[in-house]
Amino acid sequence: MPKSVQSIRGMNDILPAQTPSWRWLETRLQSILMSYGYEEIRMPVVEHTELFSRSIGEVTDIVEKEMYTFEDRNGDSLTLRPEGTAGCVRAGIQHGLLHNQQQRLWYMGPIFRHERPQRGRYRQFHQIGVECFGIEGPDIDAELIIMTARMWQALGIDNVRLEINSIGTPGSRAAYRQQLVDYFSAMHDQLDEDSKRRLHTNPLRILDSKNPDMKDLIMGAPGILDALDGESQRHFEGLMSRLDEAGLEYVVNQRLVRGLDYYSRTVFEWVSEELGAQGTICAGGRYDDLVEQLGGRPTNAVGFAIGLERLQELVEQRAPGMELTQLDIYLVALGVKANVQAMQLSDSLRDEIEGVRIMMNCGGGSFKAQFKRADRSGARLALILGEDEVRDNTVGVKFLREDTPQESIDREQLAGYLRSALL
């Protein structure tokens, strides 16, 4: 036999046993987004490479080493999206959604990064992203954070920590950047290779290093808040007072700068204690300069992204036996005549009973074989259509999880009977 082809490392199938809890998670999150009036937008998963190098920043983990970039048949350089914000901004500019108006948008879908696969870190993963345009804040920054808190509550997730920081404006960062260069230069021989390189290209990136050996050094670095300009400081205070008002606890983490270059002012992360090293389930911030940088008119913007695989792991831990979509009825049909009628019967039951989930036996089989499938299907009851039933215009009913005898119900009474039996 030829060797079978395997999936790409770090790109996972989500199997039928897992999709119900994924769907549950997605539906809950989406209904919260809708309850705040946010609208969905869908973008392509492939964009021109330039979009990402111009927005995320050349000297970032993502652009330096994580992008899936390839030439298409026309020789254009394309990239599988390594995040959603750039594409959303591109779409907003392209379709005139951003100028002189407010937008509160969300999207969901796969994201691609060539990272080392491990728990909570994959090469294809999924995000729900949210982007708000045209609002200077800090009320909108607070709304985003409060909305995410509501999401965790709806999913039954506690034990999450909110970290916030302000990284000011590009102008106010210049002075801080110099402080960092001075600090890290004095420790030059303790820096890892990435950090040495970044010391002169993008010293703020050093703070975002994932290398545990760099941790102490980073903790000792000067904080950014002392270097903030007045406007950014007022913005940050406005955010904190709103979070206080909402009763949300948070930690100010002055080393939180986020892994992308486009942020300004507010940055935040939600970190779970239950996921090991990859604990950040949601991250975001303000990016007031990005729209202009990508060719639009200056537009305030703030957003976040949730990593769904990590959230999914938390939800599974919490509710392993979650009551999920299941089948109501499995229709057993014996003989060709019954098989033909079963198809009509199941379709008319779908018309007669709102929302009923009914699976018809296909592929024939003995009574015993069909009942085995019925059991395995997880359905609550089996309907049986044999020669006798076809002749008498009746249907057999057998509850699969109860020890009651099979009953025979007239076809005319069937829908009414099932409606109350399935309540």
Q: CB under 6 A: which stretch of 14-22, 42-50, 160-168, 278-286 binds ligand ATP?
A: 278-286
Q: In what order do the strands lie in the sheet with 251-252?
A: 39-40, 103-112, 124-133, 301-307, 280-286, 264-272, 160-166, 251-252
First to last CA, the chain: 50
Task: Measure the CA–CA gap between 389 and 73, rounded to whole angstroms.
Answer: 61
Residues 72-111 touching ligand ATP, rule: CB under 6 A, are 83
From 134-142, 167-175, 307-315, 381-389, give the range in contact with ligand ATP by CB under 6 A: 307-315
Given the complex with ligand ATP, which of 83 and 389 has the nearer CB atom?
Answer: 83
Neighbours of 136 (CB within 10 A): 13
The reply on whether position 316 binds ligand ATP by CB under 6 A is no
Min dist CB 310 to ligand ATP, Å, is: 5
The interface region with ligand ATP, picked from 11-19, 47-55, 275-283, 398-406 by CB under 6 A, is 275-283
**Would you count residue 115 as binding ligand ATP (CB under 6 A)?**
yes
Calpha distance 302→265 (Å, rounded): 10
Q: How far apart are CA 185 and CA 223, in angstroms?
A: 16
Name the strand (E) or helix (H) holding 185.
helix 170-185
| Residue choice 28, 99, 114, 121 for contact with ligand ATP (CB under 6 A) | 121
d(CA 156, CA 71): 44
278 near ligand ATP, rule: CB under 6 A: yes
Per-residue buried b or exposed e for 286-309, using 16+ beta carbons within 10 Å of the residue's own CB: bbbbbbeebebeebbbbbbbbbbb
Q: Which of 60, 127, 166, 264 is in the footprint of ligand ATP by CB under 6 A?
A: 127
Residue at shortest CB range from ligand ATP: 307
Among 113, 205, 242, 286, the residue binding ligand ATP under the rule CB under 6 A is: 113
What does residue 345 show for φ and ψ, rounded to 5 degrees?
-60, -45
Residue closer to ligand ATP, measured from CB, 155 or 329: 155
Find all residues with CB under 8 Å of 417, minimum gap 6, and list them.
Answer: 397, 409
Could you please report the per-residue DSSP string of 355-389? T--EEE--S---HHHHHHHHHHHT-SEEEEE-HHH
Residue number with CB closer to ligand ATP (113 or 235): 113
Neighbours of 220 (CB within 10 A): 10
Q: How many residues of this chain bind ligand ATP (CB under 6 A)? A: 18
Single out the residue of 151, 164, 281, 290 in contact with ligand ATP (rule: CB under 6 A): 281
Which of 80, 88, 167, 305 binds ligand ATP (CB under 6 A)? It is: 305
Q: Does 262 bind ligand ATP (CB under 6 A)?
A: no
Chain-centroid distance, C-alpha 99 = 28
Nearer to ligand ATP, 103 or 209 (CB): 209
- Cβ proximity of 334 and 370 under 8 Å: yes
**Residue with Cβ nearer ligand ATP (210 or 350):** 210
Which one among 24, 107, 122, 176 touches ligand ATP, defined by CB under 6 A? Answer: 122
Q: Which of residues 193-222 bind ligand ATP (CB under 6 A)?
A: none
**Contacts with ligand ATP, residue ranges (CB under 6 A):** 83, 113, 115, 120-122, 125, 127, 259, 278, 280-283, 305, 307, 309-310
